Structure 1
């Protein structure tokens, strides 16, 4: 019975959106429960309860779906929610005021709401419902007049966004959504950063979107990031047997966190290396030190000038380090155990040698003869 129950649950909650899970949907349900209930409660406390004005308008239900179920959507961010609902309701009230024919008024109101939201960069699907509510909402809306877009529509939207921010923070998710920053050139030159010089570029993404003739509900920067992660995952899957433990250097040069800066400089030059792992009194990784840190902070204690170390586990695919080792700043990734004791180190040179080996193997691979 347990197996049947799990099967039914998996089918019932099969994700409609990419990345959705049963846990995410349950979190969305809880968020909507709390958000809508508190929005009605707070609105009633502010404007008072009574038939003269609704505590909460129906479009907030659709807003809650976006806010709690797809918080990364561009349509679910604070400005689209607040601006989209308020502007649309204002247009709906205006259309009702100037256009006496109800059928024509609702058509004009919703179409102008879409146009206004697009121009003000606050496109929000429930905004269309807010405009429609302003047109067909009955006596409570009519009596409110031009106050309706602000109380309760704007008020509801602000409260719901505020509750959404608090809820997502408590549930461990980031809201408002911040698209990942694009890789930057850290060397002060006009070249693109290394990750953007190979593979597809922004023009390719735009050309693909134009070719598909589709509008996707995803931020342009997030789409670029997603495609690059797909490339990385495909490469890791293809060569997944190559882990960090296989490639890493094991005979490492390290320095203690309490040792003098002069010794660190001497070790870097003597061994012709660019990254020196720093260990604490128990031999665990505390950070890394390189010529860059020494140039910026010539004097002082190692603990004050060292940088945070980029780390990996020995069983992680080594190709997953490509992004880190091509960011223009990181020259080595320290391989550690769970207690941060050092197992080895993978440098840019190690990775370059591996990639060259993979390329040469592919180039000189003897193809299997085709048999009819």
Structure 2
């Protein structure tokens, strides 16, 4: 029985009023113009046009509401109804065949439009035996309604006609491709009352919103590496280098005795002081930098504090992971030390940790 419960409409008040005013103007303008052109005894407005107005103004992005669907669907369906009036004597049978034939024709011409079934049925019930009924009022009504729909929807910020075949140049980064969506729609094998490009945009936006929500819920302490290898200001460069090589890390936070961060030393610091930009004797210069000189007085750097970077970007353990996005992507950082409430080192977040968090925030697990 839950299937009979109507789903809530997630549409704002302004959009509802936009649709209401649009349908009002569409029917009024179409009716006035057709009444001026019709004879006094002729029918100048058909009831299925009311259903067409709902689609054109309330759901202008729907494939069922596009100009060709409205004009082609109503017109060809009315034609099927007129033909059934001529070919079938029983009105009940003619009504059923007319609606079925209208659906066949609309599928064949790619102009599926629900009010078209009503147009076919109306032709049978009113015994419309003349083709004049197809052209006026059905065709003229549909054309005028579409023209009003184009003007009104465009003026109110809605794309109409809404192209159903869109070539994408800037495809959003996502875990699924257009080919994946096409494959799913093929398996789904049902007519959707939403255009394919709108559906793809909705899925992309939902995925991005889910990722942002998960990222905002994650804290730095949830993804950081807790076992951090550290050095002190006076640690020999050779010891620091061997520590980095042994544990395959590219940076070491420099801390004092209270584990407060006073700097960071990275592979780039070693390379810079070894002058790797010079191609000759690079290995020898690096070995000379790392190796202890054994002299009490020397101009060569011997300790970590002499080559480390003193300006260190840190982040608190309770901060959102989403704040790291700009730090890693725009500022060129590769390692962000994490501090606790007492400003002591609690962990470190590397680019690998951050990428892993991004991967998991998309809802996919290895």
TM-score scaled by length of structure 2: 0.57
2:153 — aligned with what? 168
In structure 2, the gaps of 5 or more residues are 1-5, 219-321, 337-349, 361-366
CA distance in 2, matches of 1:183, 1:347: 26
Q: Note the C-alpha offset of 1:181.
A: 3.8
> What pairs with 1:17-32 in structure 2 (closer than 5 Å)?
17=9, 19-32=10-23
CA distance in 2, matches of 1:236, 1:162: 41
Matched-pair contact (CA < 8 Å) for 1:236–1:319: no
Q: Note the C-alpha offset of 1:349.
A: 6.5
CA distance in 1, matches of 2:158, 2:138: 26
1:132 — aligned with what? 121
CA distance in 2, matches of 1:349, 1:213: 47
Give the direction of change, closer, same or farther, for the CA distance of 1:110–1:180 in structure 2 (3 Å limit). closer
1:39 to 23, 26, 30: 30
DSSP 3-state at the match of 2:131: helix
> What pairs with 1:142-157 in structure 2 (closer than 5 Å)?
142=129, 145-157=130-142
1:217 — aligned with what? 193
Matched-pair contact (CA < 8 Å) for 2:22–2:152: yes
Which whole-Å deviations, capped at 9, do the CAs of 1:95-145 have from their partners, x for residues lacking one? 11111111111111100100100110000000000001111125xx34xx1
Give the direction of change, closer, same or farther, for the CA distance of 1:175–1:210 in structure 2 (3 Å limit). closer
2:107 to 118, 123, 142: 118
CA distance in 2, matches of 1:175, 1:25: 17
CA distance in 2, matches of 1:108, 1:179: 30
Q: Note the C-alpha offset of 1:169.
A: 1.9
CA distance in 2, matches of 1:62, 1:170: 22
Q: Does 1:233 align with 2:209?
A: yes
Give the direction of change, closer, same or farther, for the CA distance of 1:88–1:30 in structure 2 (3 Å limit). same
TM-score scaled by length of structure 1: 0.56
Matched-pair contact (CA < 8 Å) for 1:54–1:152: yes
In structure 1, the gaps of 5 or more residues are 1-13, 186-192, 243-316, 322-343, 365-372
Using CA pairs below 8 Å that are at least 6 residues apart, which structure has the higher relative contact order?
A: 2
1:80 to 69, 82, 98: 69
CA distance in 1, matches of 2:195, 2:56: 15
Aligned residues: 238
Give the direction of change, closer, same or farther, for the CA distance of 1:72–1:350 in structure 2 (3 Å limit). farther
Give the direction of change, closer, same or farther, for the CA distance of 1:181–1:101 in structure 2 (3 Å limit). closer
CA distance in 2, matches of 1:16, 1:153: 34
1:57 — aligned with what? 46
DSSP 3-state at the match of 1:173: coil
Give the direction of change, closer, same or farther, for the CA distance of 1:350–1:233 in structure 2 (3 Å limit). farther
> What pairs with 1:78-117 in structure 2 (closer than 5 Å)?
78-117=67-106
Matched-pair contact (CA < 8 Å) for 2:63–2:164: no
CA distance in 2, matches of 1:82, 1:158: 6
Across the aligned residues of Structure 1 and Structure 2, the Cα RMSD in angstroms comes to 3.5
DSSP 3-state at the match of 2:89: coil
